[in-house]
Amino acid sequence: MTPAEAGRIIHKNAEFVRAGLRQGRFDFGTAVESKTGQWNYIIFKDKFLKYVGLKEVN
């Protein structure tokens, strides 16, 4: 699941999700900075859906 997909579900933009992941505010994923300074994001779909109170997204 991408930050953009997660953002659409919670009615926020992708940067909101990215910032929350970088700051460790969300427990449904993580952000990792590479040696070049690029950020990579991992969102665990099951954890995200549980976090927002959904069983599945149609």
Which pLDDT tens digit goes with each residue over 21-37?
A: 999 999 999 999 999 99
Residue range(s) defining the domain that contains residue 20: 3-52
Residue 51 is predicted with a pLDDT of 95
**Ramachandran angles phi, psi of 34, nearest 5°:** -80, 170
Number of other CB atoms surrounding residue 31 within 10 Å? 19
Mean pLDDT, rounded, for 12-24: 98
Question: Is there a domain that residue 58 lies in?
Answer: no
Distance (Å, rounded) from C-alpha 6 to C-alpha 31? 14
Whole-number mean pLDDT of the chain? 95
Question: Is there a domain that residue 57 lies in?
Answer: no
Question: Is there a domain that residue 11 lies in?
Answer: yes
Residue 20 is predicted with a pLDDT of 98
Question: Is there a domain that residue 44 lies in?
Answer: yes
Question: Is there a domain that residue 43 lies in?
Answer: yes
Question: Is there a domain that residue 13 lies in?
Answer: yes
* Predicted structure pTM score: 0.87
Split into its structural domains, the chain has a count of 1
Pair 18, 3: CB distance under 8 Å: yes
Q: And the tokens for 30?
A: 């993580």
